[in-house]
């Protein structure tokens, strides 16, 4: 059984009297340990698909199994629990809390998971050293470079040991050198067995993944694997 089983997923948005079909029946599976890129032009339904795979939204029809659990019918709070435990998000704009230290930012998912304070600190420190930022854990985001901020965000995404690391244009706000460093970090994580889903519009970045799903007009146009 795959880690992710999405079958015949559709998503409609109603804009007043008009209904927009963002996804028109998408079916795919993702295995444990895969490094996959999802590509597509803007307006293709790529973002909608990401929201659904990331459990930020529910499909209109179709089924979505994550870790053999049907999540398309779960309530908002149940989805919050799934996001907390199963999914780690990395965003283009880092999305760090500006007034909190790197350590506090990494601890945030653990706070919502109800982990004890001592465990929060230990696990967050652990992940920060994994991304090479142990020495900067008491710095606020404004005192860190873009690459460092993104590494804090990756540590935060990994702190709850999620099944999937979800990265939405993770290098979009970085120069090519730091972007490359971040991609290297993803490769290392992948080698350790981490499932990674990368959303990108850059062919160069997508090329680093083992498999690329290309979305167009709400449908999967191609699904290719690198040998």
Partner 1 sequence: MILQESITTAVDSIRANLLRSLLTTIAIVIGTASVIAMVGIGSSAQRAIDDSITNASARTLVVYPSRGRGTQKISAAPLSISDADALMKDKEINWRIAPEIRGSKSLKYQNESISIQVIGAREDYLSILGYEIDDGNFFTQRDDLARKRYAVLGSSVGAELKTSSKALVGKDIDLGGVTFKVIGVVNSEGSSGWSNPDEQIYIPLFTASDRVFGRDRVDAIRVEVPNTYTPEEAMISIERVLRREHDIGPGEENNFRINDWSQFTDLQKQATAIFSALLIGIAGISLMVGGIGVMNIMLVSVTERTREIGLRKALGATHQAILLQFIIEAVTLCIIGGVIGVIFGSSLYFLVTVFQDWVFTIPFSAILGSVMFSAFVGLFFGIWPARKAAQLEPAVALRYE
Q: Point out which residues bind partner 1 (CB under 8 A).
A: 51, 54, 56-57, 76-77, 80-81, 83-85, 89, 91, 95, 97, 99-100, 108-109, 111-117, 156, 160
Of 23, 25, 31, 24, the residue nearest 5 (C-alpha): 31
CB of 180 to partner 1, least distance (A): 26
85 vs 211, beta carbon nearer partner 1: 85
72 vs 84, beta carbon nearer partner 1: 84
CB of 117 to partner 1, least distance (A): 8
Lateral strand order in the sheet of 18-30 = 18-30, 4-15, 61-66, 69-70
156 vs 190, beta carbon nearer partner 1: 156
Of 144, 145, 146, 183, the residue nearest 165 (C-alpha): 183
Of 161, 160, 159, 181, the residue nearest 170 (C-alpha): 181
CB of 45 to partner 1, least distance (A): 13
142 vs 176, beta carbon nearer partner 1: 142
Query: How many Å apart are CA 177 and CA 192, to the nearest integer?
Result: 23
CB of 112 to partner 1, least distance (A): 4
Q: Are 6 and 36 in contact (CB under 8 A)?
A: no
38 vs 212, beta carbon nearer partner 1: 38
CB of 186 to partner 1, least distance (A): 19
Q: Are 152 and 106 in contact (CB under 8 A)?
A: yes
Task: Tell me the pairing of strands 211-216 and 195-199.
Answer: unpaired
């Amino acid at each position: 059984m795959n880690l992710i089983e999405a079958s015949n997923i559709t998503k409609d948005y109603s804009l007043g009297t008009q209904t927009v079909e963002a996804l028109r029946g998408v079916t795919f599976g993702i295995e444990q340990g895969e490094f996959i890129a999802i590509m597509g032009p803007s307006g293709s339904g790529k973002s909608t698909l990401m929201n659904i795979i990331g459990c930020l939204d529910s499909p209109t029809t179709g089924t979505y199994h994550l870790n053999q659990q049907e999540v398309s019918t779960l309530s908002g709070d149940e989805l919050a629990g799934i996001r907390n435990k199963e999914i780690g998000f990395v965003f283009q704009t880092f999305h760090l809390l500006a007034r909190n230290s790197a350590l506090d930012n990494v601890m945030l998912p653990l706070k919502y998971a109800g982990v004890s304070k001592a465990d929060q600190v230990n696990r967050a420190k652990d992940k920060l050293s994994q991304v090479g930022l142990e020495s900067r854990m008491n710095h606020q985001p404004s005192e860190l470079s873009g690459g460092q901020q993104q590494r804090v965000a990756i540590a935060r995404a990994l702190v709850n040991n999620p099944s999937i690391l979800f990265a939405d244009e993770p290098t979009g706000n970085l120069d090519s050198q730091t972007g490359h460093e971040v991609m290297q970090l993803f490769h290392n994580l992948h080698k350790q067995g981490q499932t990674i889903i990368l959303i990108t519009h850059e062919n160069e970045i997508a090329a680093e993944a083992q498999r690329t799903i290309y979305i167009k007009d709400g449908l999967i146009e191609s699904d290719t694997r690198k040998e």
